[in-house]
Amino acid sequence: MWASVEKWAYPQWTDPLLAAKPQMTMGATPELFMQAAGVIEFTLAFALIWTPLVRRTAAIILTAIFVSAVFEFGKVDAIGHSGIIVVLLGIAADDVRTAVRVRDAAWTPAYFGGALATFLALYYVGHEALYAGFATLPAI
- As separate numbers, helices (DSSP H) first and strands (DSSP E) second, the chain gives 7, 0
Position 51 scores a pLDDT of 85
Position 111 scores a pLDDT of 94
Question: Does 117 have pLDDT greater than 80?
Answer: yes
In the chain, what is the straight-line distance between the N-terminal and C-terminal CA atoms, in Å? 17
SS (H, E, C) 24-70: HHCCCCHHHHHHHHHHHHHHHHHHCCCCHHHHHHHHHHHHHHHHHHH
pTM more than 0.85 = no
Distance CA 12, CA 6 (A): 10
Cβ proximity of 88 and 47 under 8 Å: no
- The band of 128, judged by pLDDT with boundaries at 50, 70 and 90, is confident
Position 85 scores a pLDDT of 95
pLDDT digits (tens, 9 = 90+) for 74-107: 888 899 999 999 999 999 999 888 787 888 788 8
Position 31 scores a pLDDT of 93
pLDDT digits (tens, 9 = 90+) for 17-72: 999 999 999 999 999 999 999 999 999 999 998 888 899 999 999 999 999 989 88
Position 25 scores a pLDDT of 92
User: CA 60, 65, 71 angle in degrees (round to 5)?
Assistant: 125
The domain containing residue 115 runs over which residues? 2-136
Cβ proximity of 93 and 60 under 8 Å: no
Q: How many domains does the chain fold into?
A: 1
- CA 138 remoteness from chain centre: 20
One-letter amino acid identity for 138? P
Distance CA 39, CA 5 (A): 9
Position 135 scores a pLDDT of 55
